[in-house]
Structure 1
Amino acid sequence: MPLKQPIGQKRLTNVAIVKYKKKGNWFETACYKNKVVDWRNGTETDLDEVLQTTAVFKNVSKGVLAKEKDLVDAFGTNDERAICTEILTRGDLQVSEKERKLEYENLFKGVATVLSEKCVDPNTNRPYTITMIERALKDVHFNVDPKKSAKVQAFGEALPLLQERFSIQRANMRLRLKLAAACKDEIQSRLAEHKVIVESKEADGATVAIVCQADPGLYQVLLALVRDLGKGHGHLEVVSLAVQREGMSGEGQASGDIQGILKEQQRASELSQVPYVTSQPASTTGRLRARSEEDSMAEVSYPRGPISGIPDDVTRKPMFLEIDGLQPGWEVELTKRGESGVVDAVFFSPSGEKVGAFVQARRAALSASKKAAAAQSTVE
Structure 2
Amino acid sequence: MSLKQPVTQVRLTNIAVVRLKRKGKRFELACYKNKVVSWRQGNEKDLDDVLQTTSIFTNVSKGILAKTKDLKDAFKTEDIERIVLEILRKGELQVSERERQYQTENLSNEIARIVSEKCVDPNTNRPFSVGVIERAMKDTLHYAVLPNKTAKVQAQIVIKQLQEHMSISRAQMRLQLNLPSARAKAVKEQLKTHVNKWEQEEWEMDYVGTVLIDPGSFRVIDDVLRQETRGQGTFDVLSVAVVDDNDEQLT
TM > 0.5 between the two?
Answer: yes
Partner of 1:143: 144
CA distance in 1, matches of 2:237, 2:12: 48
**Offset of 1:150 from its aligned partner?**
1.3
Other-structure match for 2:238:
239
Query: 1:38-53 maps to which residues of 2 (within 5 A)?
Result: 38-53=38-53
Q: Shift in Å at residue 97 of structure 1?
A: 1.4
Structure 1-normalised TM-score? 0.59
Sort the Cα spacing of 1:75 and 1:212 in 2 relative to 1 into closer, same or farther, 3 A.
farther
Computed over aligned residues only, the root mean square deviation of the Cα atoms, in angstroms, reads 2.0
Q: Indicate the residue corresponding to 1:102 in structure 2.
A: 102
Q: Percent identical across equivalent pairs?
A: 48
Q: Name the CA distance, whole Å, in 2 between partners of 1:236 and 1:75.
A: 53
- Give me the whole-angstrom Cα distance separating, in 2, the residues matched to 1:22 and 1:210: 61
Q: Can you list the C-alpha shifts for 1:71-120, whole angstroms capped at 9, x where unaligned? A: 344251243x4432221111111222112211211111111010111111
Letter in 1 for 2:181: A
Structure 1: runs of 5 or more not aligned: 1-8, 251-255, 257-380
- State the distance in 2 between where 1:202 and 1:135 align: 45
* Highest RCO, 1 vs 2 (Cα 8 Å, sep ≥ 6): 2
Q: Judge conservation of contact 2:29–2:87 (CA < 8 Å) in 1.
A: yes
**Cα deviation 1:285-322 (Å, max 9, x = unaligned):** xxxxxxxxxxxxxxxxxxxxxxxxxxxxxxxxxxxxxx
Residues 18 and 199 (structure 1 numbering): CA distance in 2 closer, same or farther, change over 3 Å?
same
State the partner residue of 1:67.
Answer: 67
**Contact preservation (8 Å) 1:177, 1:237:** yes
Residues 352-372 of structure 1 show CA distances to partners (whole Å, capped at 9, x for unaligned) of xxxxxxxxxxxxxxxxxxxxx
Q: Secondary structure at the match of 1:146?
A: coil
Q: How far is the alpha carbon of 1:69 from its aligned partner?
A: 3.2
- d(CA) in 2 for partners of 1:143, 1:59: 31
Please tell me whether the aligned partners of residues 197 and 213 of structure 1 are also in contact (alpha carbons under 8 angstroms).
yes
Task: Give the counterpart letter for 1:127 in structure 2.
Answer: P
Which residue is equivalent to 1:216? Answer: 215
> Which amino acid in the other structure matches residue 146 of structure 1?
P
Q: Residue 115 of structure 2 aligns to which amino acid in structure 1?
A: L
Asked if the contact 2:195/2:212 (under 8 Å) is kept, the reply is no
Structure 1 residue 210: Cα displacement: 1.5
Q: 1:11 corresponds to which residue?
A: 11
Match of 1:242, SS? strand
Measured in 2, the distance between the counterparts of 1:131 and 1:212 equals 31
What is the DSSP-based 3-state SS (H/G/I as helix, E as strand, rest coil) of the residue aligned with 2:201? Answer: strand
Rg larger in 1 or in 2?
Answer: 1
The amino acid across from 1:178 in the alignment is N
User: Which amino acid in 1 is paired with 2:143?
Assistant: F
Q: How many residues align?
A: 240
TM-score (norm 2): 0.87
- Map 1:1-380 → 2, pairs under 5 A: 11-73=11-73, 74-79=75-80, 81-140=81-140, 141-155=142-156, 157-205=157-205, 207-246=206-245, 247-250=247-250, 256=251
Unaligned stretches of 5+ residues in structure 2: 1-8
2:119–2:127 Cα contact (<8 Å) kept = yes
Moved over 6 A (4+): none
| Aligned counterparts of 1:142 and 1:21: Cα–Cα separation in 2 | 30
* More helix, by proportion: 1
Partner SS for 1:249: coil
How big is the shift at 1:213? 1.0
Contact 1:19 1:29 in 2 (8 A): yes
SS at match of 1:194: coil
Displacement after TM superposition at 1:44 (Å): 2.2
Q: Distance in 2 between matches of 1:11 and 1:179?
A: 64
Alpha-carbon offset, residue 182 of structure 1: 1.6
